[in-house]
Structure 1
Amino acid sequence: MRPNKSDVLIAFKAISLTDDMSVTEKRVAATLLDHYNRCTGQCDPALNTIATLLGINRRTAIRATGSLERSGYFRIDRHGGKFHRNSYQPIWARFRAWENGWAERRRLAKQFRSAAQNLSPLQGPGCHIGDGGSATQTCSNNQSDLTSAPQQQESQRALSATEVTAVKSLSKQSESGPQYSNAQDRFHGKQSYGEVARIAAERRWNEALTRQLASAPDVFAGVIDAIDSDLSNATTEVEMTRRGRGVEFLLVQLDRRKAFHECGCLR
């Protein structure tokens, strides 16, 4: 079947962006497309030619072409070309399906971006109040009119560091029965440092997701339904190692899953 006018361009685009080809397979696929004759449909470069052009071993070229055939991007007619060489035919429908999936991924990314743009980027005051002195607290858990000293405000902003210090201190206490000043200390005293860090990371990406999609409840509901335990754990791991990047990882993974499911490209 002869390609449409844009099929070759779509094929090169798919080869460049798809994540189901290795680097060598991408190079071999591009070489095959480069040898494709749109007028005659002939595409039968010798394996030695492919290997020489790419500077790879002939066996590597054989493995790469076989992988491209198994993934459905090319059909191989063995000994069907000139001088009994293999003939390679791109499966244009496969490349078009990838293009449809990519378009859907872009649409979802734009939808998430639009939802995020409707939210205020400010998480609090952008400058010091007055001359930078003490000010009345506005937190929901502090309804009094008392002011908080700068040192106290700094300790509140560094809550995670305080938790870490508390856990380390508790781990050094004897097993005879440490004294706890409140329920929060008792809670952290029974957990390891890694458990506390994991709980904090999971809380951070959940709160970030809620803030980002607060103005798009339908999208938020769909995202929540799509999060399974494996994806939740993976997102927490990313947040623990790269603070603030967990929710970004989550949305990209959901975007990729939806796009590949709809185009039928899941491996």
Structure 2
Amino acid sequence: MNDKPELPSQKDFAVAYKAIALARGLSGDAKTVGAVILSHFNARTGQCDPGTDRLMARAGVSKRTVVNATNELHARALIVKIHHGGNGFRSRYQPNWAGFRQLVADFEKGENGDEVVQERASTRCKNVHLDSANPCTLTHIRNSPKKLTGSDGAIGYVRSKPSEDTPASVDAERVHGLVRGSLRRPRSPYRLPPSVAAATAAASDRLAAQIDSLSETMRTMLTAAVDEAMRQAAVIEEQKRQGAGLPYLIDRVQSNSWRSRNGSVAHDA
């Protein structure tokens, strides 16, 4: 790392928050402390030297946790900690913006190569001409109980009998009527197929688990900034690729925060 800090672009902050969330093996406390450090970085001067007490208060963790978290971020070369001895031996922090960009680029490269496939059991169908006057079989009854009749005792030949409760076939006119009735039956436009609904529910549960894994302070900050539309969009991202929901939320929140901050600065100017 150079002594002169690299000044990030507008997009780099959103990328950095996303990279912190995507970093595999990084503890939840380290992610929270890393996000707090990024929020203290001055994009104009490159200054970033929040004190330990400040990090403790913002992250809601102990001094030992802050020390361990900053050491973890330093060891992963995500945020380098530099001791300069001044101001009560306060450290300054230098985010690895290039490393953040590379981490997110690698993630998105893998995301574009994946294809979401809905697995469904294979269906065996039998073609039926609905205009035919001949009777047609709707279903084949499998695994139905059979009585051993006419068995010679050696081979055990079984003579199957059709069930009296379930008709084996119906005429084509009745089949045609069933098809017409199914087409006329109103359907709810908001009801999803079972497989899609299950996948959406699973993605929502995974996103909730990812948010719960964060520290209490990080969860509170995220919950206050996320609305229902953003949450639904994050569920869709999580459904496309497992693990992508939380980074998407953080990206959206940081982008909104940046726009609000720039807007207020421009207004003051």
Q: TM-score, normalised to structure 2's length?
A: 0.44
Q: Name the one with the larger helix percent.
A: 1
| TM score, norm. by length of structure 1 | 0.45
Find the structure with the greater CA-based Rg: 2
